[in-house]
A and B are shown apart, each in its own frame.
Chain A
Amino acid sequence: MDAVKGLGELERTVMEVCWAREEASLAPATARDVSRALAGERDLAHTTVMTVLDRLAKKGFLDRERDGRAWRYRPVASREGYVTELMLGALDETGDRDAALAHFVRSVSQDEIDVIRQALAEVTLEPPA
């Protein structure tokens, strides 16, 4: 279990390096770039970094292209893009209502909003029981 958790954290760290490079308009990262960027906070074996990059590419989070003898990895989507994707699913706006997630409150229509605002005002004004 710990190993799995460790790997997930590693993937996240590596993705963050790739995103940061993209934001800084640097060339897509090689495994060596990632190792170097992480050298300060954690020392990882070069092979570990390559494994993580490979896994992320297989999962479809990184695109890779040959550059001489090395691969260069580029994020498929931005961090914000993924957050938006998750939120769209969460807000039930993907148009495809499915049972993958349980929603706290479904979106309500414009004509219902006023009734809800009024109820909220009433409830919050009531002295606590």
Chain B
Amino acid sequence: MTGSALLALVALATVFGAHGLSRARWTWRTPRIAIGLWQALGLGWGVATIGTLLGVALLPYQRGIASGLPSMVSDNAARLDAVHMAALLAAVALTFVLLTMLATAVFRVVRARRRHRALLALVARGDSAAPDALVLDHPGAAAYCVPGVRSSKVVVSAGTLALLDDKELAAVLAHERAHARERHDLVLLPFYSLRQVFPQIRLVGRCLDAVELLIEMAADDRARRHRPAKELATALLRFAAARPGPAPSGTLGVAAADDIPVLARVNRLLRPEPQPRRIRFAATLAIPVLVAVPALLWALPL
């Protein structure tokens, strides 16, 4: 009983944690730690939620999850009544849906990338202005990376070459190479698939937005190691100014500059703020704790 209650508490805490973290700004000072925190939060939520359901299902065995499961298997779940059975089914269903959607997301991404690479091979060209990158003959401004296991490709459009000067272009290429090197696509994948599972839940969408922004900031930070921050900042602004969206966003007016993700990135590039050591320490410590606590509650015979 205690174990299930504690797991439910942890599950609830991760939801509130995600809520808070999706609105937090301090995370922007150390995007890498924040990304780790998001991953731990996601994993902790999954383990705790499934654990809660399993724990309720296994209550009749009074031995927690890790020892309760074998007991249930050995007596063919004879002690489960309707409520416990419902909890068991819910646990199995949730696990199944989460894993299947993740696999589907992987499959879709792999397929889309294969198509993308095949097309690039046919129509993209090399250009001395952007060494190690592929160039698409299109006037629009675009720069992106197609991540891959063996070879990642950085792609820019002809419009980008026209828009940016040499230094800005070098900063953009460094940013994109950082995505490829740090495999940020793999970080995004579980959050992307979680949004596929719960498309109506706005919190999940906000989590994805937050992680995406943090990933861009992490790539900005790496690019800044090799190039002056101002070059990347002006490149970001030129890009954003060259790419007005197809329609106004739903937001009514702009409250603060930092509400526009690209301006938040520019501001932290031009005026970086150090993360107070206390916060850095606490956030780093929270990462293993968020994973270990629910795992421990699975193992204990509570």
Contacts and interface: CB of A to CB of B under 8 A. Distances in A.
Interface of A: 8, 11-12, 15, 59, 61, 79, 82-87, 89-91, 93, 98-113, 115-117, 119-120, 123-124, 128-129
A86 B123 contact: yes
Given A107-B245, A123-B233, 20 more contacts: A12-B121, A61-B118, A87-B136, A87-B138, A87-B157, A89-B112, A98-B192, A99-B189, A100-B185, A101-B146, A102-B179, A104-B142, A104-B236, A108-B245, A110-B245, A111-B251, A115-B260, A115-B263, A116-B241, A119-B237
Contact of B240 (A99, A102, A108): A108
B219 to A, nearest CB: 8
A108 B116 contact: no
Contacts of A104: 142-144, 172, 175-176, 236, 239
Contacts of B146: 100-101
B137 interface: yes
Majority secondary structure, B binding face: helix
A109 B247 contact: yes
Interface in B195-251: 215, 219, 230, 233-234, 236-241, 243-249, 251
Contacts of B142: 87, 90-91, 104
Contacts of A111: 248-249, 251, 253-254
B188 A99 contact: yes
B82 interface: no
Contacts of B188: 99, 102
B254 A103 contact: no
Contact of A83 (B108, B113, B137): B137
A47 B237 CA distance: 52
Contacts of B140: 87, 91
Contacts, number: 152
Interface of B: 105, 108-109, 112-113, 116, 118-124, 136-138, 140, 142-147, 155, 157, 172, 175-176, 179, 184-185, 188-189, 192, 215, 219, 230, 233-234, 236-241, 243-249, 251, 253-254, 257, 260-263, 266, 270
B80 to A, nearest CB: 39
B230 A107 contact: no
Given A112-B260, A123-B237, A129-B230, A103 B122 contact: no
Contact of B262 (A11, A84, A99, A116): A116
A8 B124 CA distance: 12
Contacts of B172: 104
B234 to A, nearest CB: 6
Contact of A107 (B121, B124, B185, B244): B244
6 contacts: A11-B121, A98-B112, A106-B261, A109-B251, A112-B249, A117-B241
Nearest to B105: A99
Given A86-B136, A104-B175, A104-B176, A99 B109 contact: yes
Nearest to B193: A99
A105 B243 contact: yes
B112 to A, nearest CB: 4
A108 B260 contact: yes
B147 A98 contact: no
Given A102-B176, A108-B262, A12 B122 contact: yes
A102 B157 contact: no
B101 to A, nearest CB: 13
Nearest to B121: A8
Nearest to A129: B230
Contacts of A85: 119
Contacts of B124: 86
